[in-house]
Amino acid sequence: MSWLSTVLTAILIGLGSNLDNCGTGMAYGSHNMKFPHWVNGIINAIGFCTALLGAYAGHVVSHYISTVEASWTACIVLSSIGLFFWYSQYIHPRISPRRENLRLLQPGWRQGFILGLGLSFTNLTVGFGATVSNLSTTWVIAASIGFWGYIMLWAGNVVGYRVLVKSLGRYSSFFAGLILILVGIHQVTG
């Protein structure tokens, strides 16, 4: 495989494996939340590490975590956050006797870690699948996944924060939750 072919393959794998990051960034942005760059860095450092883990230990990991289990775990984490958006905006204010708002905290290191794990379960299988035929591309593939994950999360967050939150108004929480749930379902079906 030539170096150009390796780089192009790595870029396509990096973009394809991080479309969920873009959707997650949009969901948070439309919920009027900005991702700090350091939280984005945590999320994608975890993505990079899981891609490496998948590449180097994919065969061993596949004995313990199947592709289906990894997909369902990612689906549950992302859908739970989406359902929390709906609950905090539409259900909790109606059932709480004190009418206090329940809010998702601005993304910090804990949220970054949880989102990083949720978004990275598929990186185990992507890293494994992408490097089965050529283990020498491991670092290129993992670096591409980490780089494009950062870019896609940032771009999605900017679009959500600057465009969607203004155009959706009071329905932004509904669409934020819907986007996360759809991204979670895509983990299982895609």
Task: Give the residue numbers spanning the domain of 159.
Answer: 10-189
Residue 131 belongs to a domain: yes
111-160 pLDDT per residue, tens:
888 888 877 766 766 666 555 545 566 788 788 888 998 998 999 889 88
Residue 168 belongs to a domain: yes
Residue 1 belongs to a domain: no
Residue 56 belongs to a domain: yes
Q: What is residue 101's predicted lDDT score, i.e. its pLDDT?
A: 57
Residue 2 belongs to a domain: no
Q: How confident is the model at residue 27 (pLDDT cuts 50, 70, 90)?
A: confident
Cβ–Cβ < 8 Å for 119, 149: yes
Q: Is residue 85 over pLDDT 70?
A: yes
Q: Which of 24-38, 71-85, 95-109 has the lowest mean pLDDT?
A: 95-109
Residue 5 belongs to a domain: no
Q: What is residue 63's predicted lDDT score, i.e. its pLDDT?
A: 64
pLDDT (mean) for 60-65? 62
pLDDT (mean) for 163-190? 76
* Two structure tokens written together for 177: 């939750």
The tally of domains found in the chain comes to 1
Residue 99 CA to residue 135 CA, distance in Å, equals 56
Full 3-state SS string of the chain: CCHHHHHHHHHHHHHHCCHHHHHHHHHHHHCCCCCCHHHHHHHHHHHHHHHHHHHHHHHHHHHHCCHHHHHHHHHHHHHHHHHHHHHHHHHHHHHCCCCCCCCCCCCCHHHHHHHHHHHHHHHHHHHHHHHCCCHHHHHHHHHHHHHHHHHHHHHHHHHHHHHHHHHHHHHHHHHHHHHHHHHHHHHHHC
Residue 42 belongs to a domain: yes
Residue 58 belongs to a domain: yes
